[in-house]
Amino acid sequence: MGVINLTEDSFYSESRILEPQQLILKVNQMKAEGASIIDLGAMSSRPGATLLPLNVEIDRLRNACDIIKDNCPDTNISIDTFRVDVLNELEPGTFHMVNDISGGQMNEEMYSWVGARQVPYVLMHMKGTPETMRSLASYEDIIKEMLDYFIERIPKLLACGVKDILVDPGFGFAKNIDHNFYLLKHMHVFQMLEFPMMVGLSRKSMIWKTLDQSPGDALNGTTALHMQALNKGAKILRVHDVKEAEETIKLWTKINA
C-alpha cells in the first residue's frame, strides 16, 4: 500500500502531494514499483495534529479521486478517513477500501456504512485522537488491551455485514517508542484474530528517533522493521517507499519458500 498525503502537515515531506500532475506521476510510479493499493489521506494523523475542517478534507479527497480515475485507470484506492460524511461526498466506485485510524470510535455510523456498501475496512488501534493520543500512551498490558480492543470491535463489524476486515496495530498511535518495539516483537499474537494484518511502520519516529536521524534518513531502518513485521505475520505493508518494500517482500518470500 503506497501512502499519498494530500496535506502539507504530513510528518514526511516526500509523501506530500499537492499538485494534480505530481499526483498522477506519484500514483503511476507507485503502481509501477509494485503497489497494489494507493492510500489517500487529506488530514495529517501525526501526534498533535489538529482536525481538518470537513469541507477541506472532502475537497482534497474528491479532487484526488477524480484525477486518479481520469488519469490512472485500474487503481485500487484506499481512503484514509474516520468521517462518514467525507465518504458520502465521494463518487461511488472511485475508491475501494476505507482506512479508519479511529477504529470506528470517532464516527459511530462507520461500521454500518462500510457494511452496507461491502467495502473492505482497516480496523486500527488507537486511543483518543491524533491531537490527544500522545497523552494516552499508558498500558498495564499493551498486547492484552489491544486484543480486547479488537475482540470487542470485530463482532460489531461482522454484525453490520462487513466481510473484509484488516487489523492494523497502529504503530505510533497512543504508543511511545518502547511500546512500539514491544508491539512489533509480539505482533504475531494478533494472528489469533484470523484477519490479515496491515502495518504502518514507514519512516516513523520509532525508527528515526532510535537511530538519531530524521524521517528523510529512515529508509534503511524502515526496511529492517518491515522484514520483522513480515516475520510476525503482516500481510500488507503501508509504505512511502514502494520499490524498497516490494524488494523486501520478494526476499522474505524467497527465504520462506
Catalytic site positions: 204, 238
Contact 87, 10 (CB under 8 A): no
CA distance 208 to 74: 35
Using alpha carbons, list the distances in angstroms from residue 31 to 34, 77, 136, 153, 158.
Answer: 5, 11, 37, 32, 31
Q: What residues pair up with 165 in beta bridges, in sequence order? A: 121
CA distance 236 to 29: 19
108 residue type, one letter: E
Query: How many residues in total does the chain contain?
Result: 257
Q: 121: helix, coil or strand?
A: strand
